[in-house]
Amino acid sequence: MKDVHAMTPTAGSLDLHRVGVTGVKKPLAIQRPDRVVTIGASFSVDVDLPASRKGSDLSRNAELLAELIDSTATAPVESLEAACHEIARELLMRHQYATQAQVEATGTYFRSRGISETRRSFEDYLLIASARASRDSNGGEPTVLRTIGAEAVGMTACPCAMETAREILEGEFPLLKDHSFDKFPIISHNQRNRTRLLFEVPPGVEVEVDRILDAIEAAQSSPTYAILKRRDEAQVVLNAHRNPKFVEDVMRDLLSGVVTRFADLPPETIVVAETVSEESIHKYDVTASHRITLGELRHPAAG
Amino acid sequence: MKDVHAMTPTAGSLDLHRVGVTGVKKPLAIQRPDRVVTIGASFSVDVDLPASRKGSDLSRNAELLAELIDSTATAPVESLEAACHEIARELLMRHQYATQAQVEATGTYFRSRGISETRRSFEDYLLIASARASRDSNGGEPTVLRTIGAEAVGMTACPCAMETAREILEGEFPLLKDHSFDKFPIISHNQRNRTRLLFEVPPGVEVEVDRILDAIEAAQSSPTYAILKRRDEAQVVLNAHRNPKFVEDVMRDLLSGVVTRFADLPPETIVVAETVSEESIHKYDVTASHRITLGELRHPAAG
Amino acid sequence: MKDVHAMTPTAGSLDLHRVGVTGVKKPLAIQRPDRVVTIGASFSVDVDLPASRKGSDLSRNAELLAELIDSTATAPVESLEAACHEIARELLMRHQYATQAQVEATGTYFRSRGISETRRSFEDYLLIASARASRDSNGGEPTVLRTIGAEAVGMTACPCAMETAREILEGEFPLLKDHSFDKFPIISHNQRNRTRLLFEVPPGVEVEVDRILDAIEAAQSSPTYAILKRRDEAQVVLNAHRNPKFVEDVMRDLLSGVVTRFADLPPETIVVAETVSEESIHKYDVTASHRITLGELRHPAAG
Amino acid sequence: MKDVHAMTPTAGSLDLHRVGVTGVKKPLAIQRPDRVVTIGASFSVDVDLPASRKGSDLSRNAELLAELIDSTATAPVESLEAACHEIARELLMRHQYATQAQVEATGTYFRSRGISETRRSFEDYLLIASARASRDSNGGEPTVLRTIGAEAVGMTACPCAMETAREILEGEFPLLKDHSFDKFPIISHNQRNRTRLLFEVPPGVEVEVDRILDAIEAAQSSPTYAILKRRDEAQVVLNAHRNPKFVEDVMRDLLSGVVTRFADLPPETIVVAETVSEESIHKYDVTASHRITLGELRHPAAG
């Protein structure tokens, strides 16, 4: 058969940066400390393509995903990012003309959570991972860079509306000015908040996803929970209103938390963070995002 | 040319209920009292197909939408539902084998809203309309039934967490039990709430969409606004917490509002309502839905 | 604590049809003949609410989902619809004021598929299930009605463009009129086709999901596959073009297939089907949908 | 009132890169050569925030969008990117503490298209624009960089399956090897293809969106159309099969087209392109993406 992909392209000689497949859905079995979990994951993989070739052999991508991911049903992998790493490395093996390979994946991760031991249930989080492999020009092992991240939904309470409401309420309810009410939680507006945190780590560095999720949930006004009986619900509300946060506060607390919680990560690690509050008083969302090395985060330049 | 659509189907004789096109996007110009507004609308249209025909002439649907909707650029229609009505009627003209035609449409509607005159801006709402035309077996005009509806985003504050929080706070802040605090608004959790209301009306009955949106916004704990300066924001928060509502309350207040606000509509009008609160304390949503005739709503059967 | 949900609603006495939670995501372990599969599923559950109660105890829904679904991690269920059935029954136990309970669920199902044994891989399908439980007024077991369904992506090739293209090509290539070309496959346009088939079955009736998926894939011009080497790819293309279908044909062939493949199901079973072809020559989709009892489908009324 | 936003943040001193609002929907009136068109657009705007401030005054963003966009109802702007430019500039005026402002917008654009004059209708395209304003440290006018782009849906036919199918068919239909069939179009699989092209232009450079859309549609196997009568449909199918393309070909032809069609743009213009084919023979998509300066594209480095 004629190999159309290997033919010289008719459109002139141009290297292409990224050619691949996207939205390939697969069940991925991951070995957790206590048990095997299967997550529904979606993969995008691509490689570069030299000017001399008309097409990339995309069926190899599908074969490779089938071989590496389907086999986890019997031999679970360590993590989503480990799977990405392995796929990226293997892409370079099978596309000999390529110099770079990229893999991006997301998956739904269920972990057991509860406001107390008797209220535990599985709650859904988003896992995010990627890997980029670069061919070694001397024929050695490719360099593979990984990104490891996650997204958690929690809640925020607005610190500004709370202050203004206090001023208005002090007018209507003069007793509120009594010093005993100094720490009394005042009404505000709350939002569903989605926050993601990713680490682009140097080769060989691992980050446990539960540590990432814990860092995110600690930065929101409060985590949220599937099961809340009446008193639990009030407790979450109280916690959130005693911990009011703009998205700006969520972002700063998240980044501060990264400094204290991830002291083991090397300074060249890149931290990428994004937080979105789905406003209850507006039809639109508010958001903050940041990208910085861990080194810069630990030692901000004097301004 | 061979007319493949008109051929006898090979798969055996079966009437098909609904065959059509979906997701046809068009700009629709509507004449409002004060000005012409152009909304981006999406249309789905279908007709039934007798057992004797292999295919429906779907290109006629696209032609018809082009003729009727594109021409509104120079000759605006009265409303989205009027456009649906006209399309449904015309579908029966062009598909002579059909006995029923259905049109469903949605569109983004911007109306000028504000917590005060100086804070006005365009906010987005969803218009929902449909029409079903049935051919008159005696060759007369087809009967066309219309649905007219809309969806608005507002906010809710939970009445239950508020009561429990009050009990807890009365323990921590005994002064709160002073009778002067009887109407003091206590913290709770708030949600972005999406509520839709539709009327399936008899022929000839019209409903103004702004009346529908007003009825929805009156049933939520508070409408939301694009522009809120500090004091406005606190005012919305106060209003919502003085008007706490479960989705159950939103639904009952919406349906009560329909009785008082739409006294002009005939009793055979069918009311369809749905409300969804995107919980700030949970990762999932809570919802209530209802379908009832206006007659039944006005005079509930004795239980 | 004050039970706000049990209070009399302020908005007047109105029974509410459906009150519940939606978008609750859970991992569900299902026992298949050969192994346990875990699917990521999304649940919506609701009950009715009498006029005398202000609110439905929604935290019970979350508790119940946690108890019934989370426990499948160690004790897998038989199917998604069996889980829905059990949840619906249990909803009526925990909401004593309710007379009806409804559960709707979807989940991603991966099954091993391939154009040949050496090309097998996991491909994604959508499972759809629901259950509605009605309380027995004499205190007996509730009646539970189940819906069992699935959606599969395949492809269609248009029979009409093929005929017209043949006529045009016969003008350009007179040799094409040679009788040896009678069964020669002519170019047309192809589409990604999504088709779903659901059965609303009487109590006690089961339908295996793989039978549903097989029926859908048999009705499309061709199934699609994740792994296709060069020759396989051409084979799928050939198959599809030798089996060209409008959405009307897919629907009729699907319904015919239901008659022959599901002879074991009782005549009162309701068949719901929908097919959507994402047109490659248009920016919009074409669709057909149908709803009929199996009895009527087996014995169409004389027209 | 206490200005909570201006307070010192409690979480330690950290400059934040991007803080803003997202998903603000507005009607935007644009003056086209022949008429005013109103597009439904969605805006995201953000600025940076110094370490000394707790919060960004987000209500100013909503006010500014209302002032600048709502006023286009009576005074249409030139383009979506001109609106972004003006918003970015104004953001720096209203957030005096900010050094950078960013605006991103998308909108649905309807243009009149047809395979012939008698088949014209409005078809939907996506407009994409952004602007980034950087404050001049000497108090001069800020520098504003614009991105101008669009996305169009068209179709592709696979060149590889076509070759393999020809080989198989030549076996079955030996007459096909006759030289008169050399240019005979052979069956393949076709896909709905979405391609986007963006230009990051230096200050003062404009690009007309219709030129961008024309460049995209010229690079696909064929544009698609809303209205196609039987013969038109076959013509589109013929054109696409005589012009078969991988996503790699679409990308190369698009980039070649950029070189020839946009000779007026300066070499420092950055070209960003992405193409996605929604495969009819697979459940997943294939894609290619590229980012390059126009200078490099015009004069590829010798390899």
Would you say A88 and A133 are in contact if contact means Cβ atoms under 8 Å apart?
Answer: yes
Q: Looking at residue D116, what is its pLDDT?
A: 96
Q: Looking at residue C12, what is its pLDDT?
A: 58
B229: Cα separation from own chain's centroid: 30
For the ranges A268-277, B98-107, D134-143, D198-207, the lowest mean pLDDT is seen at D134-143
Cα distance between residue C41 and residue C127, in whole Å: 9
Amino acid (1-letter code) at residue D28 = L
B110 touching chain A per CB within 8 A: no
Whole-number Cα distances in Å, D291 to A53, B187, C93: 19, 50, 60
User: Is pLDDT above 80 for A154?
Assistant: yes
> For residue A168, with 0-12 CB atoms within 10 Å meaning exposed, 13-18 middle and 19 or more buried, which class applies?
middle
Q: Do B4 and C159 touch (CB under 8 A)?
A: yes
User: Is pLDDT above 50 for A303?
Assistant: no
Would you say B1 and D234 are in contact if contact means Cβ atoms under 8 Å apart?
Answer: no
D236 touching chain C per CB within 8 A: yes
Residues in C touching D190 (Cβ below 8 Å): 189-191, 280-281
Contacting partners of chain C (3+ CB pairs under 8 A): A, B, D
Cα distance between residue C112 and residue C209, in whole Å: 14
Please name the residue of chain B whose CA is at the shortest distance from the CA of residue D63. Answer: B227
Residues in B touching C282 (Cβ below 8 Å): 21, 62
Report C:111-150 residues touching B (Cβ under 8 A). Answer: none
Could you say which of D49, D287, D290 has the minimum Cβ distance to residue A22?
D287
Measured N-to-C along each axis, helices A159-172 and B230-241 cross at an angle, to the nearest 10 degrees, of: 70
User: Is residue D4 very low, low, confident or very high in pLDDT (cuts 50, 70, 90)?
Assistant: confident
**HSE of D17, CA atoms in CB hemisphere, 13 A:** 12
A229 touching chain D per CB within 8 A: no
Q: Looking at residue B12, what is its pLDDT?
A: 58
Residue A236 CB partners (closer than 8 Å, separation 6+): A115, A155, A222, A224, A225, A228, B189, B281
B·C CB contacts under 8 A: 174
User: Is residue B4 very low, low, confident or very high in pLDDT (cuts 50, 70, 90)?
Assistant: confident
Q: What is the pLDDT of residues C233-245, one digit of tens each?
A: 999 999 999 999 9
For the ranges B12-16, B243-247, C156-160, the lowest mean pLDDT is seen at B12-16
Would you say D70 and B122 are in contact if contact means Cβ atoms under 8 Å apart?
Answer: yes
Cα distance between residue C290 and residue B19, in whole Å: 9
Cα distance between residue A10 and residue A4, in whole Å: 11
Mutation choice for C interface testing from B193, B284, B289 by most C CBs within 10 A? B284
Pull the structure tokens for residue D303: 């390899």
Amino acid (1-letter code) at residue C246 = F
Please name the residue of chain A whose CA is at the shortest distance from the CA of residue C65. Answer: A121
Pull the structure tokens for residue D106: 């998308």
For the ranges A83-92, B120-129, C2-11, the lowest mean pLDDT is seen at C2-11
Q: Do B17 and C256 touch (CB under 8 A)?
A: no
For the ranges A169-173, C36-40, D280-284, the lowest mean pLDDT is seen at C36-40
Question: Please, what sign has the CA dihedral across residues A158, A162, A163, A164?
Answer: positive
Cα distance between residue C143 and residue C146, in whole Å: 10
Pull the structure tokens for residue A72: 């986890």
Closest by alpha carbon to D68, among D95, D29, D110? D29
Would you say A199 and A261 are in contact if contact means Cβ atoms under 8 Å apart?
Answer: no
The stretch C144-162 carries a mean pLDDT of 97
Q: Do A169 and B181 touch (CB under 8 A)?
A: no
Pull the structure tokens for residue D268: 């420092």
Cα distance between residue B124 and residue B120, in whole Å: 13
Q: Looking at residue B197, what is its pLDDT?
A: 98
Q: Tell me which residue has tokens 């009832």.
A: B292
Residues in C touching D280 (Cβ below 8 Å): 155, 190-192, 224, 280
Q: Do D187 and C189 touch (CB under 8 A)?
A: no
Q: Looking at residue C255, what is its pLDDT?
A: 97
Q: SS3 sequence, C37-71?
A: EEEEEEEEEEEEECCCCCCCCHHHHHHHHHHHHHH
SS3 C29: strand
Amino acid (1-letter code) at residue B281 = I
Q: SS3 sequence, B174-204?
A: HHHHCHHHCCCCCCCCEEEEEEEEEEEECCC
Q: Do B19 and C164 touch (CB under 8 A)?
A: no
Residues in A touching C227 (Cβ below 8 Å): 59, 62-63, 66
Could you say which of D1, D73, D112 has the minimum Cβ distance to residue B230?
D1
Q: Looking at residue B303, what is its pLDDT?
A: 44
A20 touching chain D per CB within 8 A: yes
Closest by alpha carbon to A132, among A92, A93, A96, A97? A92
> For residue D256, with 0-12 CB atoms within 10 Å meaning exposed, 13-18 middle and 19 or more buried, which class applies?
middle
Could you say which of C44, C54, C288 has the minimum Cβ distance to residue B246?
C54
User: Is pLDDT above 50 for C163?
Assistant: yes
Q: Looking at residue B1, what is its pLDDT?
A: 66
Q: Do B25 and C283 touch (CB under 8 A)?
A: yes
B241 touching chain A per CB within 8 A: yes
Could you say which of C44, C54, C290 has the minimum Cβ distance to residue B248?
C54
C229 touching chain A per CB within 8 A: yes
Q: Do B110 and D226 touch (CB under 8 A)?
A: no
Cα distance between residue C58 and residue C20, in whole Å: 6
Would you say B52 and B120 are in contact if contact means Cβ atoms under 8 Å apart?
Answer: no
The whole-model pTM stands at 0.96
Whole-number Cα distances in Å, B68 to B31, D70, D133, D277: 15, 28, 43, 32
Domains and CATH numbers, chain B: 18-141 (3.10.270.10), 154-303 (3.10.270.10)
Would you say A196 and A215 are in contact if contact means Cβ atoms under 8 Å apart?
Answer: no
Would you say B47 and B8 are in contact if contact means Cβ atoms under 8 Å apart?
Answer: no
Q: Looking at residue C11, what is its pLDDT?
A: 60
SS3 C3: coil
Please name the residue of chain B whose CA is at the shortest distance from the CA of residue C163. Answer: B2
The stretch D146-170 carries a mean pLDDT of 97
Could you say which of C11, C252, C282 has the minimum Cβ distance to residue B14?
C252
User: Is pLDDT above 60 for A21?
Assistant: yes
Q: Do A236 and B279 touch (CB under 8 A)?
A: no
Q: Do C227 and A66 touch (CB under 8 A)?
A: yes
Q: Looking at residue D12, what is its pLDDT?
A: 59
A45 vs B10, residue with greater confidence: A45
Q: What is the pLDDT of residues C80-119, one digit of tens each?
A: 999 999 999 999 999 999 999 999 999 999 999 999 999 9
Please name the residue of chain A whose CA is at the shortest distance from the CA of residue B122. Answer: A283
- State the distance between the two ends of chain D, measured CA to CA, in whole angstroms: 65
Most distant pair of Cα atoms in chain B: their distance: 89
A·B CB contacts under 8 A: 146
Pull the structure tokens for residue B9: 């189907």
Q: Looking at residue A52, what is its pLDDT?
A: 92
Please name the residue of chain A whose CA is at the shortest distance from the CA of residue C232. Answer: A59
Amino acid (1-letter code) at residue A197 = L
The stretch D96-104 carries a mean pLDDT of 97
Residues in C touching A118 (Cβ below 8 Å): none
Question: Please, what sign has the CA dihedral across residues D233, D235, D236, D240?
Answer: positive
C208 touching chain A per CB within 8 A: no
Amino acid (1-letter code) at residue A56 = S
**Which helix (H) or strand (E) segment is A85 a member of?**
helix A80-94
Cα distance between residue D151 and residue D220, in whole Å: 12
Q: What is the pLDDT of residues B197-241, one digit of tens each?
A: 999 999 999 999 999 999 999 999 999 999 999 999 999 999 999
Mutation choice for B interface testing from A156, A181, A190 by most B CBs within 10 A? A190
Residue A140, min C-alpha distance to chain C (Å): 30
Most distant pair of Cα atoms in chain C: their distance: 89
User: Is residue A227 very low, low, confident or very high in pLDDT (cuts 50, 70, 90)?
Assistant: very high
Residues in C touching B17 (Cβ below 8 Å): 289-292
- Using only C-alpha atoms, chain D has a radius of gyration, in whole angstroms, of 24
Report the 10 Å Cβ neighbour count for D242.
14
Would you say C290 and C255 are in contact if contact means Cβ atoms under 8 Å apart?
Answer: yes
B18 touching chain C per CB within 8 A: yes
Residues in B touching D124 (Cβ below 8 Å): 25-26, 40
ipTM entry: 0.94
Question: Please, what sign has the CA dihedral across residues C185, C187, C188, C193?
Answer: positive
Residues in D touching C169 (Cβ below 8 Å): 184-185, 238
Q: Do B37 and D39 touch (CB under 8 A)?
A: no
D57 touching chain A per CB within 8 A: no
User: Is residue D1 very low, low, confident or very high in pLDDT (cuts 50, 70, 90)?
Assistant: low
Q: Do A278 and B278 touch (CB under 8 A)?
A: yes
Cα distance between residue D60 and residue C130, in whole Å: 47
Pull the structure tokens for residue A69: 């991911």
Would you say B92 and B133 are in contact if contact means Cβ atoms under 8 Å apart?
Answer: yes
Would you say D185 and C170 are in contact if contact means Cβ atoms under 8 Å apart?
Answer: no
User: Is residue A2 very low, low, confident or very high in pLDDT (cuts 50, 70, 90)?
Assistant: confident
Whole-number Cα distances in Å, C45 to B23, B288, C11, C131, C136: 29, 11, 24, 10, 19
A70 touching chain C per CB within 8 A: yes
Would you say B234 and A190 are in contact if contact means Cβ atoms under 8 Å apart?
Answer: no
Residue B62, min C-alpha distance to chain D (Å): 6
Measured N-to-C along each axis, helices D58-65 and D80-94 cross at an angle, to the nearest 10 degrees, of: 140
